[in-house]
Structure 1
């Protein structure tokens, strides 16, 4: 209801078979505005035919068969979604399903024997916006905020586990623009899979190419991003984005294990980059009022020089255990909070002339060698 406003005419039928309800609802949705990410956003004046159907499968009603139903949703020519579920238990359990969004006429998504297959082809896909809607509907944010061992955690975990069954286990995504973690990627092609909270994908886009794994946070488990990329190009806004992230240090920053063979930052080629980092404040319980972002490895490897660095960012007397304190909306910083940043580095230079030339300062030095080592705090 929080994403829709207005009213619309509809037709509905309700029946019961084997003690299970069967429902069919259809509507043009004219008169109702939808505040959802594209392609499901619409004004009240426009029409978007919707049909929802939930019926028992006839074969599943034979003696000795597990009771199953089929849940189907079609939204104009925008989306077609179908699930086969086991309804013999207290909660429906998804057995298999298919999700097709933005497909051409005649293009379908065959349902696998088990799991959910998705095929998405859109001009723009905003994963951040859809993730927020999913979290709002399943209480995912409450799961992270609730104290360990509380009854709220058990309830939220059950809801989140049920919701996971409806998410794709295999997927193909094509998008002119993909928004994820606040970043915009262009001309994106993704082939991926999911197992529980672990997502794996091969990605090709204008800005990057390679393999990525992402583990969603769950309960007390922190998020983790693992990437092996052949290339990555970061635009001019990157430095200010990183500064803002470290300034607020939200709990959602994942642990990082990233290797990029060909890194480009603001048009400058940085060669091979290796990053390993953990967010020791990722738990909603801040230990002794201290949050720490620890950089275990930061290596930049070029033919003319090698930079190796480690360090950390620490907030002392940090706000304690609340969604806002963890970096959510309305977060406030304790007036007594202090911060400390330490970076230990070593720069081994094989050719200082070529190194300066790489950064637009050519012909200043020729074939210089040396070592620079120290600490920035």
Structure 2
């Protein structure tokens, strides 16, 4: 074709392919400088290669010359203007320096334009522009013109006034159409945050100098806005790529529906609602999110939601919030509904500086912090949390049968545990009733002991969590509570006895826990247990039991085993046996009353009392020291009435099986107590003594070198007897006679 040399060179540098179906050209004057001209042509299969330009010295990309593939063009042009129609079928558009992926495949593209030229000013009217590909469908119209009052290259990239809409868009591909003028971290955030979703009727409005239209703050009078409704969106507002390895993920929102807006250099999600992925019991009814300046990507999220409190706990524990609150709620269970307000401030480039604020409002929920802490019933109040911890605000609940006030959280000024977890302390102050203590089955053997308790009393409790391990402290003066137990643990309701209960991990150990119970100056119980990782089973490592004011001083845990020390002016074994029977078997003798774990029983013990009452007999000035091995109890005893060694064996159910006694002396005096008269009366009537039970008498093997009966010296005593009731039960009803 007779083209000017400059045009030929340009075509060589910028390849063009296609079929010229028709061309008609007229001009007057030289071809390279015509005085007037007119061109009319149609080209099909047109492909014009894009021409990228190098970036600026500061790295900012420069828009290149666009390219096109698979186009059909019909053109009429004169020096003063013209018209053109463009249609692309299964082709592509390419915009180097504009998008990170410059080539945009299109299934269909149509444009109808007309332009006019006056001096150096060009005005292009787009009467129709329609685009459809796998990601979106849209139609637009508008006007582009060179910048008024400018000459040469300063006229470009020009002024655009465009209006239109995307009737359909794939939310997961939004990032692909964000221009390179938006920083890479903002584009990457949108790419990883919006995982799926659909947009409908996205209104598009662009007006202004194309060189400045995306500036922040925007030029006065300029517009750059994409706004439409989205649905079915899955949004990871904190994408995993922003988090450190091993950090708990923030749960994504799914089924999100609302309005998505890009306005100049900002992004907003307004009036949205959605669910929390993996937690179907929770719904966010109002979500506002946005980036105020895409050149400094800082994501702000405000959300309000409601759902089951159990779901809210699941969300907190599975997200970084669990670390913020020291994993205090990892084992918590709850029922009922709650509401949540949440604020997130997420600087994308420095996500470690993220800020979190939240508030959960309780409305009559039942909550249990750990499996072995009491239920907080009908809880009212609020729990506020942040990236630095949490606090309980004006909370009330029914605990242990009475009203209680709750407070606490993450104390300020206390150091973390070295893993970024701050200590947590909860405080409870309320009233506990004996009836409620009987229902605390997870605090065995407290429910059994509570059978001998009546009334109610005030208490204070502190539950701490250090390195995720609970520590419990309960204190009370027990005013208002009566203890129906034998001496020395008999207490009227109007007396004050200080009580202190502690439990928690043993410092400097792994998997070892302790609990300590102290009651006034009369009782001390303390154990250490080793808990296995698998299954959570525990084994007693050591323990100590002290009964009586004189037994407690200098009482400490032994190196191993369980030590017991009993020291009181009077110990009524019969009364204690009846009390224990009432506590652990409801007053009915039963094999179930046997201890479930003999490891809690003492392996070494000592006893000192002025009077030891056993059935209708009393031993005076009694001292004893002994051991236990399995079901065998051994003791060296010394009293006014006897001296020597006793071996006592229990059967598998905990009942008396055999008593072996080797005594240097044994004295059975005449009855002097009222109990003796009652015993004598019973004997005279041929009935057993009131407190005796034939089924409880063990087999006997007794030798006493010096035996005295009611003041008479009878010399050596040997007794060998078998309880026929027990023997027949063990041998299927057959009696075995003994001597």
TM-score class normalised by the smaller sequence: 0.5 to 0.7
Q: Is the 8 A contact 1:262 1:270 kept in 2?
A: yes
Q: Deviations over 1:120-156 (max 9, x none)?
A: 22101223333344444444997855xxxxxxxxxx4
Distance 1:283 1:272 in 2: 27
Of the three residues 171, 180, 184, the one matched with 2:614 is 180
Q: Is the 8 A contact 1:98 1:117 kept in 2?
A: yes
Equivalent in the alignment of 1:84: 528
Give 3-state SS (helix, strand or coil) of 1:69's partner: strand
| Structure 1 residue 108 displacement after superposition | 1.3
Aligned to 1:160: 595
Higher mean displacement: 276-285 or 73-82: 276-285
Change (3 A) 1:11 1:225: same
Matched with 1:122 is 568
3-state SS in 2 of match to 1:2:
helix
1:96 is aligned to 542
Provide Cα deviations, 1:162-210, integer angstroms capped at 9, x if missing partner: 2x32222111211001123553211001011111221110100011011
- Verify the 8 A CA contact 1:144 1:218 in the aligned structure 2: no
- Aligned residue number for residue 209 of structure 1: 643
Are the equivalent residues in 2 in contact too, given 1:279–1:293 (CA < 8 A)? no
| Mapped contact 1:100–1:109 kept (Cα < 8 A) | yes
Structure with max Cα Rg:
2
Larger strand fraction of residues: 2
Across the aligned residues of Structure 1 and Structure 2, the Cα RMSD in angstroms comes to 3.3
Q: Deviations over 1:29-67 (max 9, x none)?
A: 011110011111111001110000111112223xxxxx1
Match of 2:605 among 163, 171, 191: 171
Where do residues 141-152 of structure 1 align in structure 2 (5 Å cutoff)? none
The 1:280/1:220 distance shift into structure 2, 3 A limit, reads: farther
1:343-368, Cα deviation, whole Å (9 max, x unpaired): xxxxxxxxxxxxxxxxxxxxxxxxxx
Q: Is the deviation greater in 130-139 or in 262-271?
A: 130-139
**TM-score, length-scaled by structure 2:** 0.34
- Residues 279/40 of structure 1: CA separation in 2 closer, same or farther (3 Å cut): same
TM-score of the pair, normalised by structure 1: 0.65
Corresponding position: 1:75 with 2:516: no
8 Å CA contact 1:178, 1:186 repeated in 2: yes
- The residue number in structure 1 matching 2:418 is none
Alpha-carbon spacing, 1:176–1:246, altered in 2? closer, same or farther (3 Å): closer
Change (3 A) 1:289 1:266: same
1:198 alignment partner, one of 625, 632, 647: 632
SS at match of 2:726: coil
2:481 to 23, 29, 32: 32
Cα deviation, residue 91, structure 1: 4.3
Tell me the distance in 2 between the aligned counterparts of 1:55 and 1:183.
Answer: 43
For the 8 Å contact 1:277–1:293, the answer to whether it is kept is no
Aligned to 2:662: 228
Contact kept, 8 Å, 2:728 with 2:736, in 1: the verdict is no
2:503/2:513 contact within 8 Å kept: yes
Measured in 2, the distance between the counterparts of 1:197 and 1:140 equals 24
> Residues of 2 paired with 1:107 and 1:178: CA distance?
22
Residues 262 and 271, structure 1, Cα contact 8 Å, conserved in 2: yes
Aligned to 2:557: 111
SS at match of 1:259: strand
* 1:279 correspondence with 2:723: yes
Match of 2:66 in 1: none
CA distance in 2, matches of 1:140, 1:20: 35
In structure 2, distance between residues paired with 1:250 and 1:234 = 20
Aligned to 2:462: 13
Residue 20 of structure 1: how far off its partner (Å): 5.2
Q: Structure 1 stretch 103-112 or stretch 113-122: which is displaced more?
A: 103-112
The structure 2 residue matched to 1:4, chosen from 426, 429, 453, is 453
| Conservation of the 8 A alpha-carbon contact between 1:222 and 1:283 | no
Quote the offset at 1:81 in angstroms: 2.2
In structure 2, C-alpha distance between the alignment counterparts of 1:112 and 1:25, rounded to whole Å: 24
Give, in whole Å, the separation in 2 of the partners of 1:294 and 1:279: 9
Indicate the structure whose relative CO is greater, using CA pairs within 8 Å and at least 6 residues apart: 1
Please give the per-residue CA displacement for 1:92-131, whole angstroms capped at 9, x wherever unaligned: 3221112223344983123222211122221012233333
- Identify if the C-alpha distance between structure 1 residues 234 and 5 changes in structure 2 by more than 3 Å, giving closer, same or farther: same
Contact 2:463 2:473 in 1 (8 A): yes
